[in-house]
Amino acid sequence: MKLLMLEPSCFEILYSINPFMQDAQGQLKKVDQSKALLQWSELKKTFESIEVEVEVLPAHKGYPDMVFCANHALVQGKTVLLSHMNSKERLGEPELYRQWYELHSYKVVSAELLGKERLEGAGDALWSRDGNTLFAGYGFRSTKGAYAFANEVFSPRKIVYLRLVDSNFYHLDTCFSVLDENTVAIVESAFDSESLARITENFSKIIKVSRFEAIESMAVNCFCPDGKNVVLQHGAKEFVKELSSAGFSPIEVDTSEFIKAGGSVFCMKAVLQQ
Contact residues: ligand ARG, CB under 6 A: 17-18, 65, 68, 70-71, 90, 123, 171, 173-174, 221, 261-263, 267
Smallest separation, CB 23 to ligand ARG (Å): 15
Strands 270-273 and 2-6: antiparallel
Name the catalytic one among 84, 171, 175, 222.
171
CB atoms within 10 A of CB 53: 11
Supply the minimum distance, in Å, between the C-beta of residue 245 and ligand ARG.
Answer: 27
Closest to ligand ARG by CB, 144 or 182 = 144
Nearer to ligand ARG, 23 or 51 (CB): 23
Q: Are 59 and 10 in contact (CB under 8 A)?
A: yes
Instruction: Catalytic residue, from 175, 222, 224, 267: name it.
Output: 267
Identify each DSSP E strand in 111-248 by its residue range.
125-127, 133-138, 158-163, 176-178, 183-186, 205-208, 229-233
Nearer to ligand ARG, 44 or 141 (CB): 141
> Hey, what amino acid is at 227?
G
Q: Kindly state the smallest distance separating residue 109's Cβ from ligand ARG, in Å.
A: 20
Q: Active site includes 267? A: yes
Question: What 3-state DSSP class applies to 81?
Answer: strand
Least distance (Å) between residue 105 CB and ligand ARG: 26
171 in catalytic set: yes
d(CA 122, CA 46): 21
Residues annotated as catalytic (active site), given as ranges: 171, 267
